[in-house]
Structure 1
């Protein structure tokens, strides 16, 4: 039996894109139900061609890790290189491109466990820097959550989106011993 605080982690692959999309859909619905639509909007990722292509690229790109409980994906982590809209790092790094968890497991430490795995991967590669970006709008709760996970806010940024409100973001860093 899997310890609820320590899910099984496994590398993802091309067949896991639907699981990533399901996690996105559930998170979007959860956020929207709370009036927090600035992060990912209200449209299900599984119906958005851009998100579908993104999930497929992540699933086949070699950086996807899934947290599972009872063989069901309950969290997804994607690590790789920084996205084009954030300031470039000044040293070698591992970048967290995605972290999404099943809200049914909120408070269980699942997100923190996935970030700890990202740190382990960075150390295995001889890297001393882990970076992530996140939505910095609304009340800043997501930025504060990453800070509680050992990250330090560095560079704020804004993504301009044609026909939509700008997306406020925050880059955070974590130095690894």
Structure 2
């Protein structure tokens, strides 16, 4: 059996902000080790006051869900309203604001399970559209991963960041039956 078969998904709460930051830190370190610094940079989220505040907001939003093996969070999903830098949807939607998984469990379908949970949440709310945005730079591997999860590219965008390189992004959508 794979780790993902023993996976539970539970709602997050304000006490889970450190777990979100740990997942982000581990993912950032993994990206840096791969030479992929364009997505989240090189510094740990836990050392960035803006990212700490963001994790606190997510943890208290009611939109945080954690994938857990035993007592250990191995993935985080945040759903809610679309971010301000992407084109607005023309119909009701549920937006994936964050999806991050523990790199120690790569290949265990944790991200896919969390996205399936997001789709269930959308259906429960009577919403037929699930959208997400992601880093579209580098070799485009992240965009292709979302496409393998049933999403379709919609709107490319660029986030301008003072004193830093622009961040290329891609919005993807998945229609729900």
Shorter-chain TM band: over 0.9
Aligned residues: CA RMSD: 0.9
Shift of 1:5: 2.1
With over 3 angstroms needed to count, the CA separation of the structure-2 counterparts of 1:3 and 1:138, relative to structure 1, is closer
- For 1:95-145, what per-residue CA distance to the aligned partner results, in whole angstroms no more than 9, with x for missing partners? 000000000011010000000000000000000000000000000000000
Structure 2 spans left out of the alignment, 5+ residues: none
Instruction: Name the structure 2 match of 1:4.
Output: 3
**Within 2, Cα distance between the matches of 1:3 and 1:94?**
29
Instruction: Name the structure 1 match of 2:125.
Output: 125
Which aligned runs of 4 or more in structure 1 are off by greater than 3 angstroms? none
Shift of 1:3: 5.9
1:27 has 2:27 as partner: yes
**Within 1, Cα distance between the matches of 2:52 and 2:109?**
27
**Within 1, Cα distance between the matches of 2:109 and 2:4?**
6
Choose 152-161 or 2-11, whichever is displaced more: 2-11
Structure 1 spans left out of the alignment, 5+ residues: none
Instruction: Name the structure 1 match of 2:110.
Output: 110
Taking the TM superposition and a 5 Å limit, the aligned residue runs for 1:1-177 are 4-6=3-5, 7-177=7-177
Shift of 1:43: 0.5
